[in-house]
Amino acid sequence: MTDADLVETVELPLTVHGLETRGVSAWFGERKVLDRVSLVMPAGEVTALIGPSGCGKSTYLRILNRMHEMVRGAGLAGQVLLAGEDVYAPGRLPAKVRRRIGMVFQRPNPFPAMSVYDNVAAGLKLAGIKVGKAERDDLVETSLQQAGLWAEVRDRLRSPGGALSGGQQQRLCIARSLAVSPDVLLMDEPCSALDPTSTRRVEETIELLRGRLTIVIVTHNMQQAQRVSQSCAFFLASHDTPGRIVEHGSTEDLFERPRDQRTADYVAGRFG
């Protein structure tokens, strides 16, 4: 048997696209917070962004789906490519980019008074997608299944989203994002407000989604980065130096065989 035979091959649907940035820098007013960040986030994989607080991970994530430009005074240079196409090309609508590159935030933010069903269907509505009732039913069910929540809510689709547990609410938000069939899902510390059991369930959902779409996750939890991601990028900034990637590569290499001493210190919990 050769080494090649041992490599697990995951067959990707043709529709799964990867994401790449080339020389991305960012500013808030005069202050530069990211410096020439180049990174490939492979199709169908989970890429974890790690690093101490304030090094620019969330800013970088928000650049990927054009949310950074919503902040007054925010500046940007460089390129973001989805399936090789620049998401900042002239004429590309930010709303369309955000439909292809969805996002889940630190705190679950379902519409609390809206039913579970309507919360997922809201993903379609917000994206301006009109479908008939039967197709909507299908999409809601499929999205909840992909988010690993269907079995828990199939009998309470008409209950308010706000009545679910924190972890269920986060998976409901994931289902809402999935309803529009995005290419990429960005997750900004999606488990930081959750207890360990709910965290596990969200991690299982991430595992379920792997291979179906490309995922980029910001996490402060080193065990989580190791559990859920296949590749990993370590960001670092200092008081007078904007955030940069110190090291990136396979998650295993980054944690087991870091090339840079700062990476070794960070993943071992010696700072940050």
> By the criterion CB under 6 A, which residues form the site for ligand ATP?
28, 33, 51, 53-59, 71
CB of 17 to ligand ATP, least distance (A): 24
CB of 33 to ligand ATP, least distance (A): 4
CB of 56 to ligand ATP, least distance (A): 4
Q: Are 212 and 10 in contact (CB under 8 A)?
A: no
Q: Which of 181, 199 has the CB closer to ligand ATP? A: 199
Q: Which of 28, 150 has the CB closer to ligand ATP? A: 28
Q: Which of 16, 194 has the CB closer to ligand ATP? A: 194
CB of 73 to ligand ATP, least distance (A): 7
Q: Which of 10, 71 has the CB closer to ligand ATP? A: 71
**What is the C-alpha separation between 143 and 149, in angstroms, rounded?**
9
Q: Which of 71, 268 has the CB closer to ligand ATP? A: 71
| Sheet order of strands, 101-104 included | 85-86, 74-82, 19-28, 31-41, 241-250, 231-238, 46-50, 214-218, 184-188, 101-104
CB of 121 to ligand ATP, least distance (A): 31
Residue 182: what residue type? Answer: P
List strand residue ranges (DSSP E) for the chain, in order: 19-28, 31-41, 46-50, 74-82, 85-86, 101-104, 184-188, 214-218, 231-238, 241-250
Secondary structure of residue 183 in the 3-state scheme: coil
